[in-house]
Amino acid sequence: MSDIKRHGANGRRALSVEHGGVLYTSGITSQLTDGGITGQTQDVLRVIDNLLARRGIDKGRVLSATITLADMADYGEFNAVWDAWVVDGYEPARSVTQGALAVPEYRVKISVIAAL
């Protein structure tokens, strides 16, 4: 299994895993429980940018994103932040669903798959 690299593992999950030239992240949530959807989305995308940078890549290499919103009423505000973050011409495949998140204050969770 030496061709699989796990980063930020804590006994339950790894923050990211790379294999076969692809990086997979866990679902990333914000530590800003009072930031609303805009602040939380900006924070999550900042964390994702940092994860990608640690592997020597940037958001232009993101292939797909899976997004869970606690409330679809946040969809428009979420998209405003997302659209400002995404690189024109390098948009990933994307899925957005509504679902319960582990902490009631969490508004958004995002996981990405990126080419290394």
> pLDDT tens for residues 37-70?
999 999 999 999 999 999 999 999 999 999 999 9
Model confidence pLDDT, tens digit, residues 65-100:
999 999 999 999 999 999 999 999 999 999 999 999
Cα–Cα–Cα angle for 25, 29, 35, nearest 5°? Answer: 150
pTM: 0.95
- What lies within 8 Å, CB to CB, of 39 at 6+ separation is 30, 32
The Cα-based distances of 36 to 5, 30, 85, 114 in angstroms read 34, 10, 17, 27
Residue 70 exposure: Cα atoms within 13 Å on the Cβ side = 15
Domains of the chain by start residue, with CATH: 5-115 (3.30.1330.40)
